[in-house]
Structure 1
Amino acid sequence: MSQYDQCSLNSICGCLHTINNIDNSICVSLWLTCSELVSCASPNNMCYAPDHICVHHPQCYDHPVCYPLSQANQQICPPMITSSPPLKPSDGICENAIWSTNGTTVAGSDGLGSALYRLYGPWGLFVDDYQSVYVADSKNHRIVKWIKGASSGQLVAGGKGSGNNNDQLNHPSDVVVDSDGTIYISDTENQRIQQWFQGAKVGKTIIKDILSPVGISQDKQGLFYVSDWRKGEVRKWRIGATTGQLVASRLGGPRFLFIDRNQSIYVAEERRDRVIKVDDTSATQFSILAGGSLGDGLDQLLQPYSVIVDELGTLYVADTNNHRIMRWTRGAKSGKVIAGGRGIGSRYDQLSYPHDLSFDLSGNLYVVDYGNHRVQKFTIDKSLC
């Protein structure tokens, strides 16, 4: 968007470009007077006041100013068009598609560590339209972005040690990124969901007092769904709400979840070795779509952590303790191994406790290989489609 373009249903809101990248912007209330703003500190254009970001505001000054992130609240500036949620994979994955046996490492290398070319106990991931990979680097208490082809990641949130300050995270488990580049983080041990605007140095708590948040997903209306592992439930939240709507309860260790284009809810239940779909609004009626008994058979799962669903209704499951990714077509009684499944290990055809998975727009598969502290990419082959 151009500087000052209307970006919200609220006419007092406009677009301000951030100082670090004029292609990045935030949508804020422009109600503040110029005299209320202070200049960014030289030479690095820093904002020392908490919850401020350095922006261009030429209607006020010819130099960058610090703008309060409180004026970017979606309750003040509701979006004109809801940011696109991570509804992947897109169409084009047919029933006969296959994936490469060997994965390629696209994030993390040389084992665990805190350097930006390494990961330490990664959990969730998000793949954007440009094949950039955002990783919840849990034991490093940070979110790292790996641009396609990069040999090292970029720190985009946290990374200042374990803590509950607005510039810190504590064992983050999942991440979602909207079309504006705003990052939403399941900050598990801080029992909150954090929002980080693109380029911001600090985050903002938008949902709090969740006992054990793990998975986070966003629907086409911009609502967030959060799984609470200890409570065994999933709630639907609006930003800034004090209470979420219960949409699934009495679950057995819900980890990651997926919301499809029809806003159907799919959950990986770790403790019950299955994947379910929520059937109605009672929050207690489910269909078992995969697994249901523990084991390594093709009709079984062993502590699954994650699930995604394509437009054919096919399930893709991170079968964590079987060290494999399973594909279950609609209505099938058993699945098929599409990645891993060759025992725990660090070879390119092996996985070690895969935690999360996603697809890019071409249908290539990305897997968080937790035990190997890396993200693996398995290339799709559509030649039989």
Structure 2
Amino acid sequence: SDGIYVLDTKNYRVQKWLKNGINATIVAGITGTPGGTSSNTTFSTSYGLFIDQFGSIYVSDQGNCRILRFPPNSVSGTIGDWIAGTGVSGYGWQGFASPTGIFVDSNQAVYVADTSNHRIQKYNFGACYGMTVAGTGYAGNSLNQLQNPTSVVVDSDGCLYISDQNNHRILRWAPEACAGECIAGCSMTPGTRPDQLNHPSDIAFDSQGSLYVSDTWNNRVQKFAILNGTGAYKILESST
């Protein structure tokens, strides 16, 4: 990318900061203007952002239970495309309840952490309906269940990595699998040890395949080397 994109949640906008720039450009939303479902220009409180390979901007509009996509050349006031969700909290194949994290793969399939429905939904490109690819839709701590997932990342093999926030763990979920495997925070007990997490909220991989976890309630970022389905832990940054 030629810049850093920031979802400025309480200003209801997405900003783009150039690497050598001083001022940001607003590329989606309108500053200080929370939107409802009557407008695809604005959005409500949002916590999920993704930029795909073409530069399109995806916003998980949590307050309106929908996903919006803005074009690569978007500016403040540009009308987005409403690509998923009904606009009201719900279940079913079209519904979301507090959608949070979002990921778009190379085929432009959209994965959404449907947080309060305790599942991950996948929308193939152009699809009107989603499919559940992880979780049962009911909160739980078994390996086939999730409890308030907040982030999802998909690797080149199609494996899902899920921040299972209220279970204080990270799961890896193989394609078509009925259950995931735990790779970090597997005790599911919140704590401050290097092998523990406390309400992890976001995850990302670097080019070397290391996994970074925003360990929210521990006020730190952890780095995990993923080896044969297990996490060899190393704290990247921590504050106490």
TM-score range, shorter chain: 0.7 to 0.9
Higher relative contact order (CA 8 A, sep 6+): 1
Residues 119-268 of structure 1: matches in 2 within 5 Å?
Answer: 178=1, 180=2, 182-208=3-29, 209-238=42-71, 239-240=74-75, 242-250=78-86, 251-268=96-113
8 Å CA contact 2:214, 2:220 repeated in 1: yes
Q: Does 1:290 align with 2:123?
A: no
The one-letter amino acid paired with 1:266 is Y
The one-letter amino acid paired with 1:243 is I
1:282 Cα shift?
4.8
1:382 Cα shift?
5.9
Structure whose alpha-carbon radius of gyration is higher: 1
**Corresponding position of 1:309:** 154
User: Any gaps of 5 or more consecutive residues in structure 2?
Assistant: 30-41, 87-95, 230-240
TM-score by length of 2: 0.81
TM-score by length of 1: 0.51
8 Å CA contact 1:192, 1:213 repeated in 2: no
**Corresponding position of 1:366:** 212
Distance 1:304 1:236 in 2: 22
Distance 2:180 2:106 in 1: 23
Spell out, residue by residue over 1:42-76, the C-alpha distance to the aligned partner (whole angstroms, 9 max, x if none): xxxxxxxxxxxxxxxxxxxxxxxxxxxxxxxxxxx
The one-letter amino acid paired with 2:207 is L
Spell out, residue by residue over 1:23-55, the C-alpha distance to the aligned partner (whole angstroms, 9 max, x if none): xxxxxxxxxxxxxxxxxxxxxxxxxxxxxxxxx
Q: What secondary structure does 2:63 align onto?
A: coil
Residues 10-25 of structure 1: matches in 2 within 5 Å?
Answer: none
8 Å CA contact 1:323, 1:352 repeated in 2: yes
Q: What secondary structure does 2:166 align onto?
A: helix
After the TM superposition, which parts of structure 1 deviate over 6 Å for at least 4 consecutive aligned residues?
none
Q: Does 1:269 align with 2:114?
A: yes
8 Å CA contact 2:183, 2:226 repeated in 1: no
User: Any gaps of 5 or more consecutive residues in structure 1?
Assistant: 1-177
1:361 Cα shift?
1.5
Distance 2:167 2:50 in 1: 25
1:223 Cα shift?
0.7
Distance 2:85 2:225 in 1: 36
The one-letter amino acid paired with 1:214 is Y
1:380 Cα shift?
2.7
**Corresponding position of 1:7:** none
Distance 1:202 1:213 in 2: 22
Q: What secondary structure does 1:236 align onto?
A: strand
8 Å CA contact 2:116, 2:148 repeated in 1: yes
Distance 1:361 1:319 in 2: 23
Identity over aligned residues, as a percent? 38
1:341 Cα shift?
2.5
